Amino acid sequence: MADEPLVLGIETSCDETGVGIVRGHTLLADALASSVEQHARFGGVVPEVASRAHLEAIVPTMDRALAEAGVTLADVDAIAVTAGPGLAGALLVGVAAAKGYAVAAEKPVYGVNHLAAHVAVDTLEHGPLPEPAVALLVSGGHSSLLLVDDLARGVTPLGATIDDAAGEAFDKVARLLGLPFPGGPYIDREARAGDPAAIGFPRGLTAAKDLVAHRYDFSFSGLKTAVARWVEARQRAGEAVPVADVAASFQEAVCDVLVGKALDACRANGVETLVIGGGVAANSRLRAMAEERAAKRGVRVRMPRPKLCTDNGAMVAALGSHLVASGVAPSRLDLPADSAMPLTTVSV
């Protein structure tokens, strides 16, 4: 519909420079430039390198998105940008660019939360999100369960990781198995040839005593250590490490906990919709297990297609579009980049 808002979204919180354009819930463009290859040899994202890459990529990525959507900046109704959380220097590039474009084209600007955007992106595929919904957010930097009463104005955190994020656990375990960075997609691939029941790795914070204080919290550092010990014992014994079995068993442990706690949160809150977002939501086993177990509980699972799960500009545009449609006021032009923006702040 032509009367739906045309919103451009800019994402620069980590290593992907993304510019997306949506009209209402319709995706028109999703341009992406990644600096991931520049970080791979360091085994993690190097903030300075990421900032510089964003600076080089932002204008070409912007031009590519506008061309892909067949619109000009003058046609756009609002510009949304990730204001946090993320790497401070990386965020600054996107926020400064958004302000520059907004001033030049006299458009309102919305500084938005990256994590809320990981939830909002699903509306591009499945339409408006029924509220309340439970959201499971699993990325390289965050693992959270939230209750989404009103995505435009605020979400209620139910729990979060007390140590490593789920994606971080994938990346660390991949590293000790000799797989490249970022490890999630490599573990996913290796696991397909492995037996998920080969090794019984621990399920963090699922014992009855832990559930009292940490019903919806996650812990993956014990699992990572258990994998490391198991691999070391094999190596000490001079035996080959069955990479596919370790990957499958590790992945099974992570997914089991994520899906179990998410469905528990749905039941306890009387919620029938579970939305899963963030880079780890691209995991094939997580997707299959969530579908299977949710169906048995009468819960509908919504997951964006894998390409929209990892960081991109479309997710920021999707949240911006939702804010405009909900009548939320734009941000002030002096909006800050906030590397530690709390999950409860949807826009600044």
Residues that bind ligand KG4 (CB under 6 A): 14, 139-141, 167, 170-171, 182-185, 188, 278-280, 282-283, 310-311
Cα separation of 301 and 129, whole Å? 11
Q: Which stretch binds Zn ion (CB under 5 A): 137-145, 231-239, 244-252, 266-274?
A: 137-145
214 annotated to a ligand binding site = no
Q: Find the shortest distance in angstroms from Cβ 182 to ligand KG4.
A: 4
Kindly list the strands in the beta sheet with 300-302, ordered across the sheet, starting from the edge strand earlier in the chain.
Answer: 154-160, 143-150, 133-138, 273-277, 300-302
170 binds, among ligand KG4, Zn ion, none (CB under 5 to 8 A by kind): ligand KG4
Tokens in use for 165? 């994020």
Is residue 15 within the footprint of Zn ion (CB under 5 A)? no
Q: Find the shortest distance in angstroms from Cβ 189 to ligand KG4.
A: 8
Cα separation of 336 and 89, whole Å? 12
User: Residue written as tokens 């900046």?
Assistant: 73
Q: Find the shortest distance in angstroms from Cβ 312 to Zn ion.
A: 9
Is residue 171 within the footprint of Zn ion (CB under 5 A)? no
Cα separation of 18 and 339, whole Å? 18
Judged by beta carbon, residue 114 or residue 322, the one nearer Zn ion is 114
The residue count for binding Zn ion (CB under 5 A) is: 2
Q: Which stretch binds Zn ion (CB under 5 A): 18-26, 72-80, 138-146, 329-337?
A: 138-146
* Helices 243-268 & 284-297 angle (0-180, nearest 10): 30
> Judged by CB under 5 A, which of 51, 82, 139, 345 binds Zn ion?
139
> Judged by CB under 5 A, which of 311, 316, 341, 343 binds Zn ion?
311
322 annotated to a ligand binding site = no
Determine how many CB atoms are found less than 10 A away from the CB of residue 176.
16
330 binds, among ligand KG4, Zn ion, none (CB under 5 to 8 A by kind): none
Q: For residue 41, is it left (φ>0), alpha (ψ between -120 and 50) or beta?
A: alpha
Cα separation of 347 and 84, whole Å? 9
113 binds, among ligand KG4, Zn ion, none (CB under 5 to 8 A by kind): none
Is residue 17 within the footprint of Zn ion (CB under 5 A)? no
Q: What is the DSSP string of 154-179?
A: EEEEEEEBSSS-HHHHHHHHHHHTTP
140 annotated to a ligand binding site = yes
323 binds, among ligand KG4, Zn ion, none (CB under 5 to 8 A by kind): none
Judged by beta carbon, residue 34 or residue 269, the one nearer Zn ion is 34
Judged by beta carbon, residue 310 or residue 330, the one nearer ligand KG4 is 310
Tokens in use for 200? 């019984």
Judged by beta carbon, residue 278 or residue 330, the one nearer ligand KG4 is 278
Cα separation of 202 and 304, whole Å? 29
Q: Find the shortest distance in angstroms from Cβ 309 to ligand KG4.
A: 7
- Nearest-CB residue for Zn ion: 139
Contact between 54 and 95 under an 8 Å Cβ cutoff? The reply is: no
Q: Which stretch binds Zn ion (CB under 5 A): 21-29, 80-88, 160-168, 306-314?
A: 306-314
CA atoms within 13 A on the CB side of 50: 24
Of 263, 267, 271, nearest to 293 (Cα)? 263
User: Residue written as tokens 């994590």?
Assistant: 115
Q: Find the shortest distance in angstroms from Cβ 139 to Zn ion.
A: 4
Judged by beta carbon, residue 50 or residue 265, the one nearer ligand KG4 is 50
Contacts of 54 (CB under 8 A, 6+ apart): 12, 17, 35, 90, 93, 94
| Chain positions contacting Zn ion, by CB under 5 A | 139, 311
**Bind-site residues for substrate:** 137-141, 171, 184, 188, 283
Binding-site entries:
114, 118, 137-141, 171, 184, 188, 283, 311
